[in-house]
Amino acid sequence: GAVVSQHPSRVICKSGTSVKIECRSLDFQATTMFWYRQFPKKSLMLMATSNEGSKATYEQGVEKDKFLINHASLTLSTLTVTSAHPEDSSFYICSASTGRGSSYGYTFGSGTRLTVV
């Protein structure tokens, strides 16, 4: 089945630094990648949708200059948290749309636990 590899699984960084999270589709081409953030005991909240070769579409309230998304190839999408602050500490997870037509679905990366100190 479709597999998305997400790295790193956990990262600790200092306030003010930037962190890059990568999601790679291993056995399929991910035209669309979705980036979610999940706070403890909360649901997954969509941050942005990225399409290969075009600018990401951000959800209302998500700062596009802070959360930089790049989807330069059909197998790699990255999320960079710039000038991270403690309030950015969260679980970030990517998801790729798979299949087409009436048989589509989604596959998730394993998530990245970001802690900003």
Partner 1 sequence: GENVEQHPSTLSVQEGDSAVIKCTYSDSASNYFPWYKQELGKRPQLIIDIRSNVGEKKDQRIAVTLNKTAKHFSLHITETQPEDSAVYFCAASKAAGNKLTFGGGTRVLVKP
Taking the least distance from each CB to partner 1, the nearer of 42 and 85 is 42
Phi, psi of 115 (to 5 degrees): -120, 125
Taking the least distance from each CB to partner 1, the nearer of 49 and 82 is 49
Strands 57-58 and 105-108: unpaired
Minimal distance, residue 17 CB to partner 1, in Å: 23
Taking the least distance from each CB to partner 1, the nearer of 3 and 76 is 3
Minimal distance, residue 104 CB to partner 1, in Å: 3
Those residues whose C-beta lies under 8 Å from the C-beta of residue 10, and which sit 6 or more positions away, are 112, 113, 114, 115
Looking up tokens 């930089």 gives 68
* Binding positions for partner 1, rule: CB under 8 A: 31-32, 34, 41-46, 49, 91, 93, 95, 97, 99-102, 104-106, 108-111, 113
Structure tokens, 114:
């970001």
Minimal distance, residue 43 CB to partner 1, in Å: 5
Rounded distance, CA 15 to CA 22, Å? 20
